[in-house]
Amino acid sequence: MISTLPRKPSVLIVEDERIVAKDLQQTLAEMGYDAFGIASSSDEAIAVVSGRCPDIVLMDIRIKGPRDGIQTAEILKKSFDLPVIYLTAHADEATIARAKMTEPHGYLLKPVKSAELQCTIEVSLFKHQMERRLRERERWFSTTLRSIADAVVTVDIGGKVTFMNPAAEALIGLRSADATGKHAREVLRLVDGPSVEAGETPLETALRMMQPIEVHEAIMLNLATGAHRLIDDSAAPVIDDKLTLGAVMVFRDVTEQRKLQKQLEFADRLTSLGTMAAGTAHELNNPLTVIMANAGLVAEEMERHRAELKAGVSPQTAERRLDEVARALEDMQSSACRMERIVSDLQAFSRPAQETPGLVDLARCVERGVRFTAQEFRYRARLLTRFGHVPPVRADEARLGQVIINLLINAAQSIQAGCADANEVSVTTSTDDEGRAVTEVRDTGAGIPLDVLPRIFDPFFTTKEVGTGTGLGLSICHGIVSSFGGQITVDSQVGKGTTFRVLLPAATIARAGAARSAGKTDRLRGRILVVDDEEQILRIIGRTLGMDGHEAVCIENAQEALALIERGERFDVIVCDLMMPNMTGMDLYEILLGQDPDLARRVVFISGGATSARAGDFLRSVLNPIISKPFTPKQLLEVIQQLLAAHQRPFQEPS
């Protein structure tokens, strides 16, 4: 039969006075304890404990052998995790000070009363049990934190590191042992992010604000490798019963995830470009037809006019013909502007995403998206637009345009072709009560079932038929909008339609400085070097400058232009194409910057758009004027006048 009686706590007595030890053993037995052993020396006590480990030890300080009771207690605590109660006749300060270092569970002076002894033993046993549970819990939490994949760093109330798990060690590039005790700023080297602007780490921010905070896509320096890693993190104060103990930060490396997201965004943008191709071709063909037809008409009219002038035609007839030519040229100019707008829209949509968001005119971005996708609605629905006032937002124009186009294409594809009069898609922009910029795309399409609605932003989830969608569009839209600090919401009813709303925080804009005083109204003339590998562009720039009174020297490649300058030819302004074979405008500029910085500042760049990462970086960093193709003669001449005024050098008439 198995006994169900509770086990008696076992006690080891370490006492070299045999009579005292026996008397103590008898007393403990009467109290209900199992005082199974007596030891008179340190070695004997250790031997007994090795054979049978007691629940508690009663230790005399003065015992036989080379080690006293305090030294023995230290060994028993370290090797066997045993609670010790000192029973001693010694109460001098030196002995008590030594005993305190072993963290005993009691210190009783002989002779000891039975009630006092029993009370001390019971409290010591309970305390030791609680300490053991606490250590086990701490060990479990520590093991858990060390095992999780996310990096974890904790600091005390002063901002000094108290713990780092292996994931944090790997990301930060520093061992926990080396980081412990250092200030968080020495360990967490963030080179970009909100906390950097505030001059503190997220841990310090959480302690200062006394609330959890989140930081998305901050750049952190790895102290071991010097590499920059992109991290998402959250930090929060650690509070126990209203007492602040420190703060904890949990973060993860999202560098590869961000790269993958960019690749998915690019693939989605290519898909959108394919959808837009037919509509764009149609949009370009119409103005191109006008230009080509009118160009042929003007050429014929000019030949006819020349012949009639030789034959002595009347001034009225000549004026009539010239009026027709002027009207044809106006149509050509209007169509050329329309084509320029289409090309500009395509460039804005297809340019690489910028790492640092800039100010974006949301209404213009939405208008662009509507023009791109207008063909999608031709046989499906009436497209209605209402553009209310919206504040500028801080975003990347290309990525934001991708969101708008995805939502518009989704709206179009939710409606079956052939019922354009019975359906409509409305696109509106407005400002909500919180000052946010709002874009709304509402359709009267099929709608989204209630059970599907919570999943529409999940990657690869789609309700479209196989082959008609990847299920990435809305997921990518959600990621892009979130990266700009905004949100995207959806309302839908089956059979009635769907409404998507994009809400973006208004950008904070610094006040512009006082307007510059107007410059001189007199037109300046200069000697201007024009460098462009396109012969027709070179010819029209030279013609424009010549008709305005400038001396234009036109060269088709940068090497010849550089040779002219190195031979001592002087120019007031250089108009240079950015992208050319062999030597680009960027190469020419960098050489001039080393040879003649003043002349380098007089360079005007002409660009058809950044076709490489280097060109994009250059255009964003260079301070020189940039004229985008296509441009008008007026735009070119205004920039020339501004440069001549800024760097006035007397124009010498050619001898």
In SS3 terms, 137-178 reads as HHHHHHHHHHHCCCEEEEEECCCEEEEECHHHHHHHCCCHHH
**Is the per-residue pLDDT at 318 higher than 90?**
no
Element (H, E) at 295: helix 255-310
Position 58 scores a pLDDT of 95
Candidates 3.40.50.2300, 3.40.50.1370, 3.40.50.300, 3.30.379.10; correct CATH number of 527-646?
3.40.50.2300
Q: Using 50, 70 and 90 to split pLDDT, how confident is the model at 460?
A: low
Per-residue confidence (pLDDT) for residue 280, from 0 to 100: 64
Confidence band, pLDDT 50/70/90 cuts, at residue 301: confident
Specify the pLDDT at position 652.
Answer: 46
pTM of the model: 0.45
Rounded to an integer, the average pLDDT of 44-68 is: 92
- The overall average pLDDT reported for the chain is 83
**For 130-139, 492-501, 530-539, which range has the lowest pLDDT when averaged over its residues?**
130-139
Q: 354-508 falls under which CATH superfamily?
A: Histidine kinase-like ATPase, C-terminal domain (3.30.565.10)
Q: Report DSSP state, residue 548.
A: T
For the domain spanning 266-350, the CATH number is: 1.10.287
Amino acid present at 308: E
Hey, is 531 helix, strand or coil? Answer: strand
Cα–Cα distance measured from residue 609 to residue 301, given in angstroms and rounded to the nearest whole number: 36
pLDDT, position 2: 47
Q: Higher model confidence: residue 613 or residue 268? A: 613
- pLDDT tens digit string along 338-385? 677 667 666 655 555 555 677 888 888 898 888 878 878 888 899 999
Residue 445 and residue 382: Cα distance in Å, rounded? 12
Name the one residue in this structure whose structure tokens are 């080396």: 178
Closest C-alpha to 33, from 69, 8, 56? 8
Predicted pLDDT at 654: 42
With 50 as the cut, is the pLDDT of residue 1 above it?
no
Pairing of strands 603-607, 626-628: parallel
Of the candidate ranges 13-27, 113-127, 130-144, 395-409, the one whose mean pLDDT is the lowest: 130-144
Q: pLDDT band at 67, cuts 50/70/90?
A: very high
Q: Which residues, other chains included, contact 2 with Cβ-Cβ below 8 Å and sequence gap of 6+? A: none
Q: If we measure between CA atoms, which residue out of 347, 351, 377 comes closest to residue 282?
A: 377
For the ranges 83-92, 274-283, 572-581, the lowest mean pLDDT is seen at 274-283
Domain 10-143 coded CATH 3.40.50.2300? yes
Instruction: Determine whether domain 148-253 maps to CATH 3.30.450.20.
Output: yes
Separation CA 80–CA 185 (nearest Å): 41
Is residue 461 a contact partner of residue 402, using CB atoms and an 8 Å limit? Answer: no
Look up residue 46 and give its amino acid.
I
Count the Cβ atoms, other than its own, within 10 Å of residue 97: 9
In the prediction, which pLDDT does 42 show?
92
- pLDDT above 90 covers a percentage of the chain that reads 34
Tell me the C-alpha distance between 65 and 243, whole Å.
48
How does residue 200 score in pLDDT terms, banded at 50, 70 and 90? confident
DSSP state of 438: E
pLDDT at 60: 92
DSSP 653: P
The contacts of residue 424 (CB under 8 Å, 6+ apart) are: 381, 382, 383, 384, 443, 444
Tell whether the model's pLDDT for residue 228 goes beyond 80.
yes
Res. 268 pLDDT band, cuts 50 70 90: low
User: pLDDT band at 431, cuts 50/70/90?
Assistant: very high
How many Å apart are CA 348 and CA 368, to the nearest integer? 9
Residue bearing the bigger pLDDT, 476 or 415: 415
CB-based burial label for 56 (10 Å; 0-12, 13-18, 19+): buried
- Residue length of the chain: 655
Q: How many Å from the N-terminal Cα to the C-terminal Cα in the chain? A: 129
Rounded CA-CA distance 403/369 in Å is 9
The single-letter code of the amino acid at 590 is E
Q: Left, alpha or beta for 511 (phi > 0: left; psi -120 to 50: alpha)?
A: beta
Query: Which range has the worst mean pLDDT, 147-156, 241-250, 298-307, 437-446?
Result: 298-307
Question: Taking 80 as the threshold, does the pLDDT of residue 524 lie above it?
Answer: yes
- 105: tokens are 């569970």
Structure tokens at 236: 């929060």
pLDDT at 13: 94
Which helix (H) or strand (E) element contains residue 577?
strand 573-577
CA 350: distance to chain centroid? 21
Query: Letter for the amino acid at 152?
Result: V
The per-residue pLDDT for range 129-173, each reduced to its tens digit, is 888 888 888 778 777 777 788 899 999 999 999 999 999 998 999
Is residue 510 predicted with pLDDT exceeding 70? no
Q: In angstroms, rounded to a whole number, what is the distance separating the alpha carbons of residues 346 and 340?
A: 10
Least confident piece of the model among 168-172, 452-456, 647-651: 647-651
Ramachandran angles phi, psi of 553, nearest 5°: -110, 115
Spatial distance between the Cα atoms of 481 and 265, rounded to a whole number of angstroms: 12
DSSP 84-124: EEEEES---HHHHHHHHTT--SEEEESSPPHHHHHHHHHHH
Residue 115, by phi and psi: left (phi above 0), alpha (psi -120 to 50) or beta?
alpha
Calculate the alpha carbon distances from 271 to 266, 276, 488 in Å: 9, 9, 21
- Domain range list for the chain: 10-143, 148-253, 266-350, 354-508, 527-646
- Matching residue, tokens 């006749």: 89
Which amino acid is residue 566, in one-letter code?
E
Identical fold for domains 148-253 and 527-646, yes or no, is no
* Rounded Cα distance, 94 and 97, in Å: 5
In the structure encoding, which two tokens stand for residue 654, read together?
Answer: 């050619």
pLDDT at residue 614 in the model? 82
Give CA–CA dist 509/297, Å, rounded. 50
- Report which residue type is found at 646: A
pLDDT number for residue 650: 46
Q: Which two tokens stand for residue 455?
A: 């999943």
71-109 confidence digits (pLDDT tens): 999 999 889 999 999 998 888 888 888 999 998 999 999
Is the pLDDT confidence value at 649 over 60? no
